[in-house]
Amino acid sequence: MLDDFEHASIVVLGSGTSIGIPMIGCHCKTCISDDPRDKRLRPSVLIKLDEHRILIDTAPDFRLQALRVPIERIDAVFYTHSHADHILGLDDLRPFNFMQKSEIPIFGSPEALDTIKNTFPYVFNGVATQSSKPKLTPHAFADGDRIPFFGMDFETIKLCHGTGTAYGFKFGDCAYLTDHSAIPEESMSRLQNLDVLFLDALRYNPHPTHQTVEQSIRTVERLQPKRAFFTHISHDLLHASVEARLPENVHLAYDGLEIPIGKAARP
């Protein structure tokens, strides 16, 4: 249970869409904004449970994100899906192998793990090399699996991501749902009345693989979380002006935001 931990929190490592904000070469209002909340690395979060650290996705910016927090331990990595903005920092897990002197378990759907193995063949082909490579133990999950860690269950939640599939993760009364264009009804039934709910909100204009701000506000209205945070944000959304228009319990996530959960959130 989350309440078993003295200090539990979710740290937003990256709140941006796949291209990152600012976008290379773009001079729009958001990309030139001085507000640090408009600087968005690729999407990922870290879950802190006392001394334990669970990482969701290894974004291309993972090395920088790990130095910023800083992250000095990783007990497991959960992959939402295998798009480049969620996996390409995988090679930077090596320092954690060095520090922890052990392999790191990684969890993903069979499809995501296949793509990860094809993208990083040198990591998984068992061939010894003169250079270092990440030491990872892949574990496949299915929808609804509950993966136990430190007395907590990490439940996998199937999401529609355009014509593909991505997974969200529910732990205690919190859930992190990035990349999705729809949430299947069966998944919706497992997400009611949470404390903290992360949702995808790319921009205001419709997109085939992501939710809009308005669509995610409707999801919040149906699921009634105490606090909702929108992530995977494009440069169409200027933080301060969008934040001011959101319902009271809904916020745009931003890089570096740390959200207390469990006992820490209940004074």
One-letter amino acid for residue 112 of the chain: A
Give least dist CB 103 to Zn ion, A. Answer: 26
31 binds Zn ion (CB under 5 A): yes
Can you read off the two tokens belonging to residue 82? 């295998």
Can you read off the two tokens belonging to residue 234? 């494009």
Mark the segment that binds Zn ion (CB under 5 A) among 50-58, 115-123, 177-185, 193-201.
177-185
Mark the segment that binds Zn ion (CB under 5 A) among 3-11, 75-83, 118-126, 223-231.
75-83
84 binds Zn ion (CB under 5 A): no
Q: Which is nearer to Zn ion, 37 or 83 (CB)?
A: 83
Rounded Cα distance, 5 and 19, in Å: 35
Q: Which is nearer to Zn ion, 28 or 142 (CB)?
A: 28
85 binds Zn ion (CB under 5 A): yes
40 binds Zn ion (CB under 5 A): no
Q: Given the structure tokens 């199937």, which residue do they identify?
A: 158
- Selected from 26, 67, 140, 142, the binder of Zn ion by CB under 5 A is 26
One-letter amino acid for residue 122 of the chain: Y
Burial class (CB in 10 A: 0-12, 13-18, 19+), 267: exposed
E strands, 64-193, are 76-78, 104-108, 136-140, 146-149, 152-161, 164-171, 174-176
Q: Which is nearer to Zn ion, 31 or 64 (CB)?
A: 31
235 binds Zn ion (CB under 5 A): yes
Give least dist CB 140 to Zn ion, A. Answer: 19
Residue 213 CA, chain-centre distance (Å), reads: 18
28 binds Zn ion (CB under 5 A): yes
Rounded Cα distance, 92 and 260, in Å: 27
Mark the segment that binds Zn ion (CB under 5 A) among 58-66, 139-147, 171-179, 194-202.
171-179
Give least dist CB 77 to Zn ion, A. Answer: 16
182 binds Zn ion (CB under 5 A): no
E strands, 15-151, are 44-49, 52-56, 76-78, 104-108, 136-140, 146-149
How many chain residues touch Zn ion (CB under 5 A)? 9
Summarize as ranges the residues that interact with Zn ion (CB under 5 A). 18, 23, 26, 28, 31, 83, 85, 179, 235
